[in-house]
Chains A and B, each alone.
Chain A
Amino acid sequence: SQQGEEDPQALSIQEGENATMNCSYKTSINNLQWYRQNSGRGLVHLILIRSNEREKHSGRLRVTLDTSKKSSSLLITASRAADTASYFCATDQRSQGNLIFGKGTKLSVKP
């Protein structure tokens, strides 16, 4: 069943601004991952954060995880037009044998 829920569903910002997307989930997880999808094509893995980690950085990406609130956020700093894409969180749940993807946030970065 679908579990991850991202918000907002859509986000429109200007180049140079920061973009923050949130993900909530319902059950215990082993890890949480963020993926990016350009124009309905294949997904690209961005970052993975484990259940015992609270924050992780990769380039302009910053991910936080709050297991007490069952939520995560993805921050993209100094956004670029090329960051325009849909972003999905996916949880590796302890009770399931596969990744559960959220509904995604559609990010539009205007030059």
Chain B
Amino acid sequence: EVQLAESGGGLVQPGGSLRLSCAASGFTFSNYWMTWVRQAPGKGLEWVANIKEDGTENYYVDSVKGRFTISRDNAKNSLFLQMNSLRAEDTAVYYCASGRLENWGQGTLVTVSS
């Protein structure tokens, strides 16, 4: 059974940092693009970033460029999102998803507030 489990969310002050993780199991992680998607309270889904199977390509939504970094460790079947210089508008539930978004995690809540 395919499973994606996000962790690392929490409450952080504006300007702070968090590192989200996504543990994957039940499929060959290294064969799939991986994606982070978020949903702010009362808002729609927003694509955040994605990364190629081997980590050599990645893309970001404009609003997080220069602040967030997506990475992966194929040996540990793990996806990461390093989030720096966090802002109130980054408050959201963050989901990881695999490949053509056929599998999703349950999400981890990030709250940026003083």
| Co-assembled chains A and B | no
Q: Which residues from chain B sit less than 8 Å from chain A, CB to CB?
A: none
Q: Which residues from chain A sit less than 8 Å from chain B, CB to CB?
A: none
